[in-house]
């Protein structure tokens, strides 16, 4: 099975490590803090020799349409996809973002629910926004498997990516067992002294858990 890990880079790792990581996992997610800290050019340089099939910009966009479009314009050469908050709504917000993203061949992921305890919005509040925006993907936390199951049932054709593995407490494989397509791993990798060994370990654990849950389903 190909790896279903997305690496979240909220801190930069050195370029050689990143190149090796890109041979082990398919996708990378880049956070706003490192874009602001290092600047676009440095991030572009570090990513340039890595070989990820998708670079997701985790900007957590949550503004009116024209501002979200201007944010993407400013960093469009950095990535293939962008994460926006579903709660921001459709008219004059995600409608304009979607239109621009389509024109520029960028993918949109809508953040449907978050993992931290303070998050209080019901997933149902956001269904209508997801239906209207028709995003490429959805983001939902591994720490809330019931939310992932609901989203998978209601949106069978969207790619679901899921943070919360490792430091935030969810075990590798649990989100995929609930219906996600990819699991996002951040601190466990970029804070590790041996990120390559760590990713291999997480990958193995993930494969095992997925095999177990598939077996228990049949």
Q: Kindly report the backbone phi and psi dihedral angles of residue 10, in degrees, each rounded to the nearest multiple of 5, phi listed first.
A: -100, -5
If phi > 0 it is left, if psi is from -120 to 50 it is alpha, else beta; for residue 173 that is left
DSSP 8-state assignment for residue 170: B
Out of 1, 14, 77, 116, the only residue in the binding site for a copy of itself (CB under 8 A) is 116
Residues in contact with a copy of itself, shown as a per-residue x/- string from 127 to 146 under the rule CB under 8 A: --x-----------------
Please report whether residue 35 would count as binding a copy of itself according to CB under 8 A: yes
**How far does Cα 52 stand from its chain's mean position?**
14
**Closest CB to a copy of itself among 129 and 202?**
129
CA distance 180 to 131: 18
Name beta bridge partners: 92: none
Please report whether residue 109 would count as binding a copy of itself according to CB under 8 A: no
- Which is catalytic among the residues 60, 73, 98, 104? 60
Closest CA to 65 of 127, 108, 119: 108
Catalytic-residue membership of 104: no
Please report whether residue 64 would count as binding a copy of itself according to CB under 8 A: yes
Tokens of 214: 């598939």
Stretch of 22-30, 37-45, 153-161, 175-183 lying at the interface with a copy of itself (CB under 8 A):
37-45
Tokens of 173: 């494989």
Least separation in angstroms between CB 75 and a copy of itself: 6
Catalytic residues: 60
Name the site residues for a copy of itself (rule: CB under 8 A): 10, 31-37, 39-40, 60-65, 67, 70-71, 73-75, 85, 87-95, 114-121, 125, 129
């Amino acid at each position: 099975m190909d790896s279903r890990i997305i690496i979240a880079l909220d801190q930069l790792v050195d370029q050689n490590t990143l190149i090796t990581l890109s041979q082990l996992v398919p996708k990378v997610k880049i956070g706003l803090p490192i874009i602001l800290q290092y600047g676009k050019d440095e991030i572009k340089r570090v990513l340039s020799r890595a070989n990820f099939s998708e670079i997701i910009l985790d900007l957590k966009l949550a503004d009116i349409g024209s501002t979200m479009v201007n944010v993407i314009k400013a960093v469009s050469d950095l990535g293939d996809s962008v994460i926006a908050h579903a709660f921001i709504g459709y008219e004059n917000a995600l409608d304009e973002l979607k239109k621009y993203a389509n024109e520029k061949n960028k993918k949109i992921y809508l953040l449907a629910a978050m993992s931290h305890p303070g998050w209080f919005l019901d997933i149902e509040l956001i269904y209508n926004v997801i239906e209207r925006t028709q995003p490429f993907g959805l983001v939902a936390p591994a720490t809330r498997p019931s939310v992932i199951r609901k989203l998978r049932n209601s949106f069978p054709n969207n790619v679901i990516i899921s943070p919360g593995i490792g430091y935030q407490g969810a075990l590798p494989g649990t989100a995929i067992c609930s219906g996600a397509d990819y699991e996002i791993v951040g601190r466990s990798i970029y804070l590790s002294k041996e990120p390559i060994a760590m990713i291999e370990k997480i990958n193995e654990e993930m494969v095992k858990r997925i095999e177990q849950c598939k077996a228990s389903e049949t």
